[in-house]
Amino acid sequence: MNTPKWIKNIGDRNVKTVKDAKDYIIERAFPQLKKYGYSNYVVIRTSDNTRLGTCGLYHREDRKDPDIGFAFLPAYIGKGYAFEAANQLLIAAKEDYGLTELSGYTLETNLASRKLLERLGFSLKGIGKLPNNDKELLHCYRVLSDDK
């Protein structure tokens, strides 16, 4: 949550210490998990239990559909882990959480995230902003159907 790419593409969440990270999880992730059954998850490589990054579903009070998000540590970007994790999360979104539609938001300049959303079957819907974020973001959208 504090790598240069995270801050550039997602935003500064003021997580500078382990305590900050724990507080962020307790205050942001756990309440959503309790209320909706889904949240942000740590992606772990099973062969050696290495933590690679995060992938999750986010419910935003002012949005109809949850959105998918992902962020990986620099050493694991571009190696297919984000696609694998996000693709499994799309399956869980439909089968486990009963979701029928998802959104995805990214900066126009974040080509890697744009390509990943496209590869996952998301289509560009428009440009918008998220709460507490002044950056204009591309809003992508996907219906969770049986064909993908």
Q: Is residue 134 part of a domain?
A: yes
Count of domains forming the chain:
1
* Three-state DSSP class for residue 117: helix
* Three-state DSSP class for residue 53: strand
Q: Which residues pair with 57 in a beta bridge?
A: 68
Q: Is residue 13 part of a domain?
A: yes
Give the pLDDT of the chain (148 residues) as one tens digit per residue.
566 655 555 555 666 777 877 877 788 788 889 999 999 999 999 999 999 999 999 998 778 889 999 999 999 999 999 999 999 999 999 999 999 999 998 888 889 999 999 999 999 888 877 766 677 777 888 888 765 4
Q: What's 58's domain CATH number?
A: 3.40.630.30
Tokens of 59: 């419910």
Q: Is residue 44 part of a domain?
A: yes
Q: Is residue 148 part of a domain?
A: no
Helix (H) or strand (E) segment spanning residue 95: helix 81-95
Q: In which domain, by residue range, is 75 found?
A: 4-143
Q: Is residue 139 part of a domain?
A: yes
Q: Is residue 27 part of a domain?
A: yes
Residue 105 in contact with residue 139, Cβ under 8 Å?
Answer: yes
Q: Is residue 26 part of a domain?
A: yes
Q: Is residue 67 part of a domain?
A: yes
